[in-house]
Structure 1
Amino acid sequence: MKTDAQLHQDVSAELEWEPAVHAAAIGVEVNDGIVTLSGHLRSHAEKLAAERAAERVAGVRGVVVQLEVRPGEAIGDEALAQAAHAALQWQANLPAGAIKVRVEKGWITLSGEVEWGYQRALAERTVSHLRGVTGLHNYLTVQSRMTPPDVARRIEAALCRHAQREARHIDVRVEHGVVTLSGQVDSLAERDATVGAAWSAPGVVNVIDELRVNGAPAAHR
């Protein structure tokens, strides 16, 4: 098991390695395997890249993001809203006209209803990398529909195919289209992959993440 000093060195090195991140602007602190990132960045996309870089490091049990976005160029909310709307409309895998966009001081709020869980995540990714975005609220909901009776088995099969359930430490429960994941995974990347697999199942309207990363507190995302 890595010490906090080793994790600090590895996370700092990974931030330096990530080309989308200005590592010199980010402060790194580690306490009992929990990494805290602080500082000021130029874009929301850079903030996301920094978070993902820290999560990739083996031994990291959690990431606390205290990064503030300060765009280098001034982009008005109206222009940003138009850009976000256009980006969503041009995304072939999203239902046309189903997603509403609101922008306030660079913060984008998405609302409306989509057909699949993956579309909810795709919409967020589509607008999060636009210039001028300082933050994002994703209030999209997934259409309620009939959940296959074997959806839990389907999710477990997908996790096995993706090599995310080798030790069978993940429990999958489904009730009225809501999937609850519990158990232990080895890394934050494995946790994200497991949640993503659950969202991809038919009939899933929400995923409750109670997974633990090597004994870290559950995420409840």
Structure 2
Amino acid sequence: MKTDMEVKNDVERELAWDPVINSAGIGVEVRDRVVTLAGHLDSYVEKLAARKAAQRFEGVKGVVVELDVRLPDKDKRTDEEIAEAAREMLQWHTGLDENAVKLSVEKGCLTLCGEVGWGFQMKAAEKAVTSLRGVMAVVNQITVRGRPTPIDIADRIAEALERHALKEARRIVVSIDDGTVTLRGKMGSFAEKSISCNSAWSAPGVRMVIDQLSVGD
């Protein structure tokens, strides 16, 4: 098992290696294998990338993000400009009905709402607008339309987890309640945890995924 100092060194090197991130603006602290990132970054995309970088290491139990986004002048946009660009991105996305998702912007915080047919569409809408200039944060309030849930959905998810999430799949308990999937168990890394959640979101009939998976030995 790595010590907190070894985890800290790994995370710092990963942040410095990732070309999306300006690691000079990030301080890293680790206590009991919980990583805390603090500082200032130039974009929301950097903030998300920093969080993912810290989650990539086996043994990291959690990541606390205390990073502020401070846009440089060249990237600042009015709320109206952000809203217009976001609408265009959603309209051009082939996986979405252009009228299904509504949006609002306040002080650079972009909120998505509306109703879609699949869980993966909800996540795709968020991803489509995350990297726009001027965006300080994205709040996803999109809901997934109710649809019949196959009685064998737990088995389907388990099979998907075995295909993608590997040896840890058999350690996951899947429960279903009216289209809401709850995942419980212990994973070896955040990467496996992410694959497990994405597999659940891709199943037919899923409207919500509750992630109660822990990471650790």
Counterparts of residues 67-78 of structure 1 (less than 5 Å): 67-73=67-73, 74-78=76-80
CA shift digits 1:115-137 (9 cap, x unpaired) = 11111111111111100111111
Which 5+ residue runs of structure 1 have no aligned equivalent?
A: 216-221
Name segments (4+ residues, structure 1) moved above 3 Å.
163-167
In the other structure, the counterpart of 2:162 is 160
In the other structure, the counterpart of 2:175 is 173
> Residue 159 of structure 1 contacts residue 165 of structure 1 at CA under 8 Å; is this kept in 2?
no
CA shift digits 1:18-57 (9 cap, x unpaired) = 0000001001010100001011111101111111111112
Matched, 1:33 2:3: no
Counterparts of residues 84-163 of structure 1 (less than 5 Å): 84-163=86-165
TM-score, normalised to structure 1, is 0.95
CA drift of 1:191 comes to 0.7
In the other structure, the counterpart of 2:60 is 60
2:170 match: secondary structure: coil
Which 5+ residue runs of structure 2 have no aligned equivalent?
A: none
CA drift of 1:58 comes to 2.4
> Residue 168 of structure 2 contacts residue 188 of structure 2 at CA under 8 Å; is this kept in 1?
no
In the other structure, the counterpart of 1:207 is 209
Q: CA RMSD in A?
A: 1.0
2:59 match: secondary structure: coil
CA shift digits 1:163-201 (9 cap, x unpaired) = 434461100111111111001100111111101100000
1:108 match: secondary structure: strand
Report the count of equivalent residues: 215
Which amino acid counterpart does residue 60 of structure 1 have in structure 2? V
Give the whole-Å Cα distance in 2 for the aligned partners of 1:136 and 1:165: 33
Give the whole-Å Cα distance in 1 for the aligned partners of 2:166 and 2:202: 15
Give the % identical residues.
Answer: 52
Counterparts of residues 183-198 of structure 1 (less than 5 Å): 183-198=185-200
